Amino acid sequence: MEIVPVKAFKDNYVWTLRNETHAAVVDPGEARPVLDYLGREKLKLAAILATHHHPDHVGGIAELVQHYRVPVYGPRNEPIPTLTQPLGEGDRISIPELGVSFTVLDIPGHTRAHIAYYGAGSLFCGDTLFACGCGRLFEGTAEQMYASLAKLAALPDDTKVYCGHEYTLANIGFAKAVEPDNRALSAREARDRKLREAGTPTVPSTLADEKATNPFLRCREPAVIDSANKYLGARIADPVRVFAAIRDWKNRF
């Protein structure tokens, strides 16, 4: 099985799991690019996986299921009218056409019931954990998002992180403001700039990359705590409060 990005909108990735004959798509915000890809590669759609209800992740599903009658997996507690297989924490799904299965993780914060799919050494985490960043808190609290990110960070270091958007360079710009002396971050910036100049996605990263460079996973690091304190003009150390501070800072950055 191979995992390839199909681009949608300006910076969305519809992650497409495929073999010689079949494909499954994660977060098809648009149908057209997916239908074009499937047609060009002569693949049959086997399943649709959604991480959360935002239109840039589910907007293409209704049209896709008119062409392919496939199961539509997604979070149980979010308004996704096309859903056929509602999921929550601990559920397992398998896509026999691709010989792959996934465990479902509840990762609320960006939205109320956002889920991730973990399997085959890969994590599909939508708009929760981004490459060098994290999603905005639209429906959840900082406590929830912090716990969700901690849950993802506990997966093996070599896990490949497939997030929903190409936001990496902008995220790195912010991460450098938080941790100007992080050498792993400078190395990542050089690498990811080269990738973007060549038109190559910076995603997937690995959890090891994220733990070394993503400020939202580093809320216990003295340098991150210091920067959060400078931003707030206060003295805090509790990681959830540090997280909340840098999330707020990023919103204004």
- Footprint of Fe ion on this chain (CB under 5 A)? 56, 127, 164
**Maximum CA extent, the chain:** 58
Q: Which does 215 bind (CB under 5 to 8 A by kind): Fe ion, Zn ion, none?
A: none
d(CA 43, CA 109): 35
Smallest gap, in angstroms, from Cβ of residue 99 to Fe ion? 29
Binding of Zn ion by 127 (CB under 5 A): yes
CB of 56 to Fe ion, least distance (A): 4
What's the Cα-to-Cα distance from 40 to each of 34, 36, 43, 63, 100, rounded to whole Å?
Answer: 10, 6, 8, 18, 23
The answer to whether 210 contacts Zn ion (rule: CB under 5 A) is no
* Cβ proximity to Fe ion, 50 vs 217, nearer residue: 50
Nearer to Zn ion, 127 or 210 (CB): 127
With respect to Zn ion, which residue has the nearer C-beta, 98 or 137? 137
Rounded-to-integer distance, Cα 223 and Cα 181, Å: 9
Q: Which is nearer to Zn ion, 127 or 179 (CB)?
A: 127
Rounded least distance, CB 127 to Zn ion, Å: 4
Active centre residues (catalytic): 52, 54, 56-57, 110, 127, 165
| Residue among 87 and 163 whose Cβ is closer to Fe ion | 163
Query: Shortest gap between Cβ of 14 and Zn ion (angstroms)?
Result: 14
3 state SS for 6-25: EEECCCEEEEEEECCCEEEE
Number of Cβ within 10 Å of residue 86's Cβ equals 16
202 CB-contact burial (10 Å; exposed 0-12 / middle 13-18 / buried 19+): buried
Nearest partner of 230 among 157, 179, 155, judged by Cα:
179
Q: Cβ distance 128 to 160 under 8 Å?
A: no
CB of 57 to Zn ion, least distance (A): 6
In Å, what is the CA distance from 24 to each residue of 73, 94, 100, 209, 225?
11, 11, 10, 26, 41
- Report 37-66 residues binding Zn ion (CB under 5 A): 54
The stretch near Zn ion (CB under 5 A) out of 32-40, 93-101, 126-134, 176-184 is: 126-134
Q: Would you tell me which residues interact with Zn ion (CB under 5 A)?
A: 54, 127
